[in-house]
Amino acid sequence: MTNTPSHDEIVLLARQAGLDLPPEYLSELIEAYRNVRRMIDRIPTGRPRGDEPAHVFVPATFMPSGE
Amino acid sequence: MTDLAFLSITEAARLIATRQLSPVELTEAYLTRIEALDHLLDSFVTLTAERARAEAKAAEATIMASGPISRMHGIPYCLKDIYETAGIRTTAMSKLLADNVPTRDSFCQEKLVAAGGVLLGKNATWEFAHGGPSWDILFPPARNPWNRAYSPAGSSSGSATAVAAGFAPATLGSDTGGSIRGPAAACGISGLKPTYGLVSRRGVIPNCFSHDHAGPLAWTSEDLAILMQIISGHDPEDPGSANVPVPDFTAALTGDVKGIVIGVPVSWLEEDDPPKPATKAGFDAALEVFRGLGCSVRPVKLPPLRQFDDAKKTIAVAELFTIHAKDLRSRPEMFGASLRYRIIAGGLVRAEEYINAMRMRTDLARAMQGVMETVDVVMLPTSEPAGKLEPVPPSSLFTRSSFTTPFNVGGNPALSVCCGFAENGMPFSLQIAGQLFDDATVLRVGDAYEKATPWRNQRPFLAVTETA
């Protein structure tokens, strides 16, 4: 994905997300996604294979109360 | 006796416990004021007057027979309209939930009922606690009681407005990026985002579950301590709930802050997002108060502000889309334009991007805790004083940085207190953030500041003769 995704790229992504939007909402989505894309592009990637997973399952969370 | 509507919880609880004040009388004072003035502020979306009268009467009977069961016994309060209340409409200000009547109370509401509180009603919020201010949703936005042309910020806007206006001494809000602290700051009251996991979110309609916090707003930090005592505690039904001992928050308010080490994130204030000169002057004056109380102040270095916003907002947009995907796909017109803009692009965020944002969040949270280990609290302004209540470009969510979001990312407790007033009369705010699960120290520091300064003596003025 490029830093400034094209109209057609965003329409394709929207369809893949199940969003079949009327034109007025599609233009909204395109502007919003370009803003989101700028944030995503600033997030570091290429982390080591053994990097700690982002989500850690903590079984204790699901133990019955009082245990 | 002073005007009942402006009693703090602490003052009202003392008067009730000594039989000098009746919960019925106190409840009627608030209901009368709300009915006379809330058309100017739109802070309530649902008023539960008859229920409040019944609860107040029952509280009075119990207190007369055997004394109060808690410091909230017989005290009126209200709830942001995302807290589910059995038998009472809970809308999140959304057309999608216009007729939503839950069958079960949220965890916090259960606690407040058990403590003998008196529910006055439900407060205005931004739609689903995220998009706003909006004029195309179920109810109009709340207004700032210090100046009705100004914004009370969001999203716990009606909650903060109600407390500042003297419509209730206590309320609960939620904070995902600053939604308790921002409105508390804008309305000149106190608001605490507790440590993540300390207060259950069960029954609170979610914004972004990885960053959502439930917490209290009140006129003083002392009152927040009373509320925290009631609503804190482990809840197995909230997967994020922490099973940790609940401290005695009120006992922690010793008034003594001598020796407290205050960290100031200088790079945020000088490079990342410098506050306006008057806001900075108000903050510097607050630091001087703390030096006078025996605290020391030192600079601390935290990661750039933008990194916190990038991680949190990328995660948030994806989680929000997931929560609302069915409605966004099938009936997007039911959302207000502001909220729709802010969440619809979340459907285009790929799993890899969401996970990388979560990894970045972990790095940032670790960095935050590393700095917090070197100080007792971190201080900075909560926000600039409130601006005019007017439509805001929804894109601003993605482009502006925030002094509050980093403590959602870290999960740290963060309090906003009033630290003076701007030339136009709008409140300045001071944010006090602390170490994880050391909410008691944060409240102690806030309480000491409020008692050392005159800002709690000033209330907004609302004339009954005003028209909307």
Q: Find chain A residues with C-beta within 8 A of B310's C-beta.
A: 39-40, 42-43
What are the chain A neighbours of B307 within 8 Å (beta carbons)? 42
A31 with B341: Cβ contact below 8 A? yes
User: A20 vs B329: CB contact, 8 Å cut-off?
Assistant: yes
- Buried-exposed string A7-32: b where 16+ CB fall within 10 A, e elsewhere: eebbbebbeebebebeeebbebbbbb
Please say if the pLDDT value at position A53 is more than 80.
no
pLDDT digits (tens, 9 = 90+) for B117-149: 999 999 999 999 998 999 999 999 999 999 999
Chain B CB contacts of A24 under 8 Å are: none
- CA distance, residue B399 to nearest chain A CA (Å): 8
ipTM computed for the complex:
0.93
Q: Are B100 and B91 in contact (CB under 8 A)?
A: yes
- The confidence score (pLDDT) of residue B218 equals 98
pLDDT at position A67 is 45
Q: So what's the pLDDT on residue A54?
A: 75
How far apart CA B233 and CA B161 sit, in angstroms, is 27
Q: What distance in Å separates residue A29's CA from the closest CA in chain B? A: 6
What is the rounded CA–CA span in Å between residue B219 and residue B361? 32
pLDDT confidence of residue A1: 54
Q: How far is CA B275 from CA B180, B382, B385, B403, B432, in A?
A: 20, 10, 10, 10, 16
Indicate the residue type of B454.
P
B309, B353, B361 member nearest A40 (Cβ):
B353
The predicted-structure confidence for B359-372, as pLDDT tens digits, reads as follows: 999 999 999 999 99
pLDDT of residue B319: 97
Residues of B belonging to the active site: 80, 155, 179
CB contact under 8 A, B325 and A28: no
Q: What pLDDT is stored for residue B467 in this prediction? A: 59
Could you tell me whether strands B296-300 and B190-193 are parallel, antiparallel, or unpaired per DSSP bridges? unpaired
Give the model's pLDDT for residue B1. Answer: 43
Coarse DSSP helix, strand, coil percentages of chain B, rounded to the nearest 5 percent: 45, 15, 40
CB contact under 8 A, B310 and A45: no
Do the Cβ atoms of B130 and B88 come closer than 8 Å? no
Mean residue pLDDT across chain A: 87
pLDDT computed for residue B282 by the predictor? 98
CA distance B175 to B405: 9
Q: From the first residue on, what is the mean pLDDT of each consecutive set of 10 residues in chain B (468 residues)?
A: 87 98 98 97 98 98 98 98 98 98 98 98 98 96 98 98 98 98 98 98 96 98 98 95 96 98 98 98 98 98 98 98 97 97 97 95 96 98 98 91 97 98 98 98 98 97 67
From chain A, the residues in CB contact with B338 under 8 A are none
Q: A7 in contact with B at a CB cutoff of 8 Å?
A: no
| pLDDT on residue B464 | 61
- CB atoms A39 and B243 under 8 Å: no
- The token pair that represents B181 in the structure block: 């602290």
In angstroms and rounded to an integer, the radius of gyration of the C-alpha atoms of chain B is: 21
- Six token digits for residue B234: 């482990």
Distance from the Cα of B357 to chain A's closest Cα (Å) equals 6
pTM, two decimal places: 0.97
